[in-house]
A = this chain, B = another copy of it.
Amino acid sequence: MTDIAMIEAARGRLSGHARRTPLLSSSFLDDIAGRRIFVKPECLQQTGSFKFRGAWSAISYLPADIPAVIIMPADAPRIKIENTRAYGAEVVLYDRASEDRDEIGRQLSSERGLTLIKPFDEPLVIAGQGTAGLEIAEQASEEGITQASVLVPTGGGGFISGISLALEARAPGFTVHPCEPEGFDDVTRSLASGTIQKNATQSGSLCDAIVTPQPGTITFPIMSRLCGPGIVVTEDEALHAVALAFNRLKIVVEPGGAVALAAALFHGESLGETVIAVCSGGNIDPDVFRLALDRFAA
């Protein structure tokens, strides 16, 4: 199981490969939210997403020159599929509605003799994601922050589990909340009910990056122990956050990556005076970005 020692070890492996992303802020965003907002822009991470941390953490245990096969949903943004191929990987597409990614992974890895790395229910991946939590603890401390609500876009729960474990050890005054888009709030419902709940559908969201069938069997107990209630935002609120991140922070965030910023801006009533919103990724197709600008950055 992932613990703070594994997270610190992952940081060692990531050194010189992953980026230490900064902590951003804007008084304009503070005014909208009625509280102090800091943003941790993981869209500025290598590959445009926090996922690099967990992937590198796990892959750095394997021989350097292995072939990579990546299983991706067929309705993923074009830019993600193209970039994955451009980095040299073979991409296997599957249909979210009718196929089971885990089953495809088991079959492919057994047929070809490959090591299967799951995207979130995997201790080494969670340890890598936790390195973002170490940075948040240090950067908040530099800003003199001792209490904060940390909001994290959440799909399967690997990212928020890693961050929660890191903050439990390094910033125990912080509370962590998962953030999800309306209609895909499996984690929020699972935490509220105490048992794993599924999403009714798995596609059709602009917030594709954080849509998974249900919380993981490893991540759910971590979230149950360490996280506060989830916060659910509308797709419009996520797009509005994308436009405000463009205008006020000069960063490119995808809708799924912007749900925590949207929660901080528009659903902060129950939160403390200081909120740290993680923007988890920036791999957005230009058409969706234009849509956000058209509607909210006139």
A interface residue numbers (CB < 8 A to B): 19-22, 24, 27-28, 41, 43-44, 48, 79, 83, 86-87, 246-247, 249-253, 282, 286, 289-290, 293, 297-298
Contacts and interface: CB of A to CB of B under 8 A. Distances in A.
Nearest to A19: B22
Given A22-B20, A86-B28, A250 B44 contact: yes
A253 B249 CA distance: 11
Nearest to A23: B19
Going nearest first, the 3 A-B pairs with the smallest beta carbon separation are A250-B282, A250-B252, A43-B250
Given A44-B249, A246-B252, A22 B24 contact: no
Nearest to A21: B22
A207 to B, nearest CB: 17
19 contacts: A21-B22, A22-B22, A24-B44, A28-B83, A41-B250, A43-B250, A44-B251, A48-B250, A79-B247, A246-B286, A250-B251, A250-B252, A250-B253, A250-B282, A286-B293, A286-B297, A286-B298, A289-B293, A290-B290
A44 B19 CA distance: 15
A86 to B, nearest CB: 7
Given A19-B22, A22-B20, A22-B22, A246 B289 contact: yes
A69 to B, nearest CB: 20
A98 to B, nearest CB: 31
Contacts of A79: 247
Nearest to A42: B250
A24 B28 contact: no
Nearest to A44: B250
Contacts of A253: 250
Contacts of A20: 22
Nearest to A283: B250
A19 B24 contact: yes
Nearest to A49: B250
Contacts of A21: 22
Contacts of A282: 250
Nearest to A27: B87
